[in-house]
Structure 1
Amino acid sequence: MKLWIGKLLGAVFGYLAGGLLGGFIGLLVGHWFDRALGGGVLGRARRQVATAVFFRSAFVVMGHVCKADGRVTAAEIGAAERVMAHMDLNARQREQAIEFFRAGRDGEADLDEALRQFRRHCRGHVQLVRMFLEIQIQAALADGDLQDAEHEILRRIATALGLSEADFARLESMLGARAAGGGPGAPAGEAELQRAYQTLGVSEDASDAEVKRAWRKLMSEHHPDKLVSQGLPEEMMRLAKERAQEIQAAYDTIKRARGLR
C-alpha cells in the first residue's frame, strides 16, 4: 500500500498557511512523515504479512516438490522437518507447517496460487525469492537424486517467481554439488575446492576479480539481517547464517588455493 496521507495533508495545510512555499515545505514534511509511518506500525504489519505468506507458501510448495516424482520419501520428509527445526517452531506452528505440506503434497493447495501469493507479497525482494527457491531445491535433493519431474517443477517455480534461467541453474548446481559432496573419485582437497567454486557459481578458470564479485553478490543476497527485513521469518535466521557461512568458507578455500589475501 502506498503511503500518501502525510504528503497530502502537509501540502494542503502548508499551502493554507504560507502559499506555494508553505505548500512545498508541507509536502516535504509530509513525505518524511509517510516514510516514518511506513517503517513503523504499517511497516511492521507488512513484514508480518510477508512472514505469514512465506511460512505457508514454503511448506505448500515443498509438498508439491516432494510429490513431483510420484512419491514422498522418508528423506524428503526429513528435509521438511529440518526446515521446521531451523525455524524453531512451537507445537502449534509445527502442526500448521505439516498441514501446509500435506495440502501441497495431496494437491489440496494449488501450486500456482501459492506462488502468486508469495510473489505478490515479496515483490522486488530478489534475495528472499532466492532463499525460498533454495529451500525447495534442498527438499528435492534430500534423497540424493534429482528426478526429471523434480527438475521441471523447480524450473516452473523459478520462472513463476521471476528468476532467470541462469540464476536457477546456478542455484541448482551449487546445491547439487553440496548434496553430492564433490566430484566422484576426487581427492579430499580437490573435492573441497570443486565445491567451493560451485558454491560461488563460478568456474575454476574464473579470474580473481570474478570470484570476488561472485562472493560479494552472494554474501549480499544471503545477509541474514537483510533477509529478515524483507520478510524472512526471524526463526529462519539460523538457516540464513549457515548459508552465509558456507559462502564465506567457499571463498576462503578458493583464496587459499590461489594464494590470495
Structure 2
Amino acid sequence: MRSWGGKIIVGLLGFLIGGPVGLAIGVLVGHFLDRGVERVRSFNPFRPYRAGEREQIQEALLSAVFSIMGHLAKADGRVSEHEIGHAEAVMSRMQLNAEQRRQAQEQFRLGKQDDFPLDATVSQFRQSIRHRRHMILVFLETLLQSALADGRLSPAEERILLRVAEGLGVPEAQFRQILNMLLAQAQFAGAGAGQGGAGGAPSRPSLSQAYQVLGVSDSASDQEVKKAYRRLMSEHHPDKLASRGVPEEAIRMATEKTAEISKAYEMIKESRGMR
C-alpha cells in the first residue's frame, strides 16, 4: 500500500506558509519523503514473514549453498573425494532429512557443470531473501567454511567467493575481514584439537590466534575486546538468528563457532587479568 502521509502533512504546512505555491512545493517534498519511507520498509530485515516465505527462503538457501559448494569443489579442475566427503559432512551437520539431502546432492552436481550460472544463482538468492543482511552473512560464512575445509583457500576459490560477495553487495574489505576471522577460528580450533602438536600431543592455541578469532589486535583496549566478543556472540546466537528468519539448517552451521569464540575470549581475559 502506497504511503500518502508525507504529501498530506507537508502539503498542508506548505499551504499555511505559502498559499497555493507552498501547497505545491509541500506536496512535492512530501512525495519524496513517502518514497523514502517505502524504501526503508522494503529493506527492513526484521519485517514479518508472509505465509510460506520462510519455506521459500530455506529452499533458496540450501539450493544456492550446495550448488555453489559444487562449483567451488570444481574450481581446481576436478572434484576430489575429500570435497565430496566434506559436502556430505555439511549435510549431516545441517541434519538434512532424506529429501533435503537428495536435493542438496543434486544441487552440488549441478554446481560442478561447466556452464553453471554463478552470477545468476547469487542474484536469485539475494532476491529470494529480500536483502536480509543477516541471511547474506550466514550464507557467505557457510561457503567460506566449506572452502576452508582443507585449511587453505586456493586462488580459484577466492576468485569465485569474491564474485559471490560482490553479487551479494558485500564490500571486499568486509569479505576479507570475515575470511581472516574464519581462518583464525579454524586454526584456533585445530590447535585445541591437537593438530600441529609435537608427536601428536595437543597444542595450546596461541594468544595471537585468540585475538584474530575476535577480529581485534592485541593493542585493543579491554572495552574493545569485550565489545568484539559480545558482537560476535550476538551475531551467532541461535535465538537471534531464528528471529531473523535464518533456517535451522544454517543456524546449526553458524553457531558451531561460538565455542571457539568463547574459548578465545577466555584466553584473552586470562592473559589480561580481565573480569
**Alpha-carbon distance between aligned partners in 1 of 2:138 and 2:212, rounded to the nearest angstrom:** 17
- The equivalences for 1:245-256 within 5 A come to 245-256=259-270
Percent identity, please: 48
Q: TM-score, normalised by structure 2?
A: 0.72
Q: Distance in 2 between matches of 1:248 and 1:73?
A: 34
Preserved CA contact (<8 Å) 1:54 1:231: no
Q: Distance in 1 between matches of 2:60 and 2:131?
A: 15
Change (3 A) 1:252 1:43: farther
Give the distance between the partners of 1:210 and 1:107, measured in 2 at CA: 46
Alignment of 1:88-107 (within 5 A): 88-107=95-114
Q: Which residue of 1 aligns with 2:127?
A: 120
Larger radius of gyration between Structure 1 and Structure 2? 2
Which structure 1 segments of 5+ residues have no match? 9-37
Report the Cα offset of residue 44 of structure 1.
4.4
Distance 1:209 1:203, change over 3 A: same
Distance in 1 separating the partners of 2:115 and 2:100: 19
Q: For residue 84 of structure 1, report the CA deviation from its aligned partner.
A: 0.5
Within the alignment, does 1:59 sit opposite 2:59 as a pair?
A: no
Aligned residue in 2 for 1:74: 81
CA contact (8 A) 1:59 1:97 kept: yes
What's the counterpart of residue 201 of structure 1? 215
- Aligned partner of 1:68: which letter? A
2-structure distance, mates of 1:184, 1:154:
28
Separation in 1, partners of 2:272, 2:80: 41
> Given the superposition, is the C-alpha separation of residues 58 and 226 from structure 1 closer, same or farther in structure 2, using an over 3 Å criterion?
same
Deviation at 1:103, TM superposition (A): 0.4
Who is 1:241 aligned against? Answer: 255
Q: CA deviation at 1:227?
A: 2.1
Identify the residue that residue 245 of structure 2 maps to in structure 1.
Answer: 231
Counterpart Cα distance in 2 of 1:125 and 1:44: 17
Which of the numbers 141, 148, 170 marks the counterpart of 1:141?
148
The whole-number CA distance in structure 2 between the counterparts of 1:184 and 1:156 is 33
8 Å CA contact retained: 2:138, 2:250: no
Residue 151 of structure 1, aligned match among 138, 158, 162: 158
Counting only pairs closer than 5 Å after superposition, residues 204-215 of structure 1 correspond to structure 2 as 204-215=218-229
The answer to whether residue 118 in structure 2 is matched with residue 111 in structure 1 is: yes
TM-score by length of 1: 0.76
Could you say which residue in structure 1 is the equivalent of 2:273?
A: 259
- How far residue 149 of structure 1 moved from its aligned partner, in angstroms, is 0.9
2:76 partner SS:
coil
Partners of 1:250 and 1:116 in 2: CA distance: 36
Structure 1 stretches of 4+ moved >3 Å: 178-189
How many residues get paired?
225
2:53 maps to 1:46: yes
2:236 aligned residue: 222
The one-letter code sitting in structure 1 at the alignment partner of 2:73 is: C
Alignment counterpart, residue 174 of structure 1, candidates 164, 174, 181: 181
Tell me if 1:130 matches 2:166: no
**What is the root-mean-square deviation in Å for CA atoms of aligned residues?**
2.6
Conservation of the 8 A alpha-carbon contact between 2:142 and 2:254: no
Of Structure 1 and Structure 2, which has the larger fraction of its residues in helix? 1
Mapped to 2, the partners of 1:44 and 1:77 lie a distance apart of 35
CA drift of 1:80 comes to: 1.3
8 Å CA contact 2:180, 2:212 repeated in 1: yes
